[in-house]
Structure 1
Amino acid sequence: MASRHEVQVTISSAKHLKNVNWRHGDIRPYAVVWVDPSNKFTTRVDEHGDTSPHWDERLVIQLTAPVDESTLHIDIVHANAEVDTKPLIGSARLLLSQVFDNVGFNETLDKTLKLRRPSGRPQGKLEVKVVLTEHRYHVPEPHYAPPYGVPPPQPVYGYPYSAPSPPPPHAGVTRRTTTTVHHEDGKKNKLGLGAGLAVGAAAGLLGGLAISDLED
């Protein structure tokens, strides 16, 4: 499982380097930086600095182990070495636990590292800046992610959704009423709109017949 931390390394400059290319001229140094040997990073080559190069280059390395188990390794190498020239100029290392003990997280540690030749003899110094950072993960709000295969909810534009308003009443339409007819047995019978209209139609018909008889 990957660590939640990373290290930011700025390779600033070096001085008093060994000229491993003395047979052919100046050296062209660059830095190789790693914590995990299977994942190495390099700076650009300083073509003109010779034994006192400047890079001022920042590299960001994701840690694969806890900070107190991680070590920063830096090799200074001569680029495009001739066949008879060994390209390794010097090496340095720094325990990241020392960085944490000195400044903790998100603070810069300026450090001068001693470079050592492959034989172990010290020669040269390397200026670096090291920052340990801790990732801050955002905890998502629960119950918002839809299940797989379900499209996400569409955004709502304008006003929020609300219950639809009832349709406006149409002209000429009479609301339904209830007519109560009293019978001789004292019971009430509720008639709906249809029955009321039928009674009215019958009364109109009888009235029409009576008027017709009078006209005849």
Structure 2
Amino acid sequence: MLNILLVEDDLDLAQTLVQYLALEEIRCDHASNGVAGLHLMEKHRYEALILDLNLPRLDGLSACQQLRARGDDTPILMLTARDQLEDKVEGFKAGTDDYLLKPFEMEELVVRLRALARRRSGQVQRLCCGDLEMNLSEKNLTRGGRSIGLSPTCWQLLECLMRASPAVVSRQQLEQAVWGESPPDSNSLKVHLFNLRRAIDGPEEPPLLHTVTGQGFVLKCYENFKE
């Protein structure tokens, strides 16, 4: 079952959407303003976010900008009654992934949600895990203020792991992300992961890159993690 968040101040519309999505086996939390929506996003992980453009306390564009600024890559579907091109351009600049104009058909909403939920957003430009920060627009990586240099392959591996974090990424998924349908010999990934681990996990820093036996690899802040 998909788990999404709806941020909509029209309570009648929100109730209708929550009930309809439940019939489609989509669990939907609801917030009635932008500030409450951001609070829920801090506490829970959602597969997608439905965000109304015109919201009290904090509008949809500002909420979207704040989410992307803090590295949240949840796919965002913006609801709006505005159909002008410049409004859509501003929305995409703020970090939204898709638009749906009001009024809309429920079936179209479900189709768009399911499509968005299959991926994380490519709009986010800053990825974080603990004190490790990857700036995609400036192509730099730091941990606790320490600048880290990576090879192009290690950068791709780390970006894949950071976008998925805290979920486990299988060996096959990592190979697909870097080499597509033509993976190299079986030792190549092992060597690159060794180099990546050495680069991001300093001797006096808590480890972030972990091997999960039989499943793959995960980038996560663990206390007393045992492989």
Instruction: Give the TM-score taking structure 1 as reference length.
Output: 0.21
If each structure's strand is expressed as a fraction of its own residues, which one has the higher value?
Answer: 1
Whichever structure has more helix as a proportion of its residues is: 2
Q: Which has the higher contact order (CA 8 A, sep 6+)?
A: 1
TM-score (norm: length of structure 2)? 0.21
